[in-house]
Amino acid sequence: MVARGLLAVALATGVFASAVGVVAAKHESRQAFIDQQQALSQRDVLNLEWTQLQIEQSTWATQGRVEEQARERLDMIQPDSDRIVVIGGRSWAR
């Protein structure tokens, strides 16, 4: 009789411990899913920002804008055609 009582207590303890383990595993699984979703959301935000920065960079680097800034900020001008010297490919050879 005592042995059956001890066996019942041991089995009940095992079942309870197993249930606690299942609950803990499920909680960890949900927490990992939440972390993954947050990381994916952050990735999407960063991808959008990266795309916007690439567009901004290409806008700032256009030939027309560079020429405009050279004229306005640096007071550079296009030289007259008689002041432009074209060097042939042979003159650079050694």
Residue 5 has which token pair? 């009582």
The number of residues in the chain equals 94
In a domain, 16, yes or no: yes
Does the predicted model carry a pTM greater than 0.75? no
Q: Which domain holds residue 37?
A: 2-77
Q: Write the pLDDT tens digit of every residue in 43-60.
A: 999 999 999 999 999 988
Q: Write the pLDDT tens digit of every residue in 62-80.
A: 888 888 888 999 989 888 8
In a domain, 12, yes or no: yes
In a domain, 87, yes or no: no
Rg (CA), the chain: 37
In a domain, 93, yes or no: no
In a domain, 89, yes or no: no
Report d(CA 18, CA 51) in Å as an integer: 49
In a domain, 59, yes or no: yes
Question: To which H or E segment does residue 14 belong?
Answer: helix 2-60
Total number of domains in the chain: 1
In a domain, 90, yes or no: no
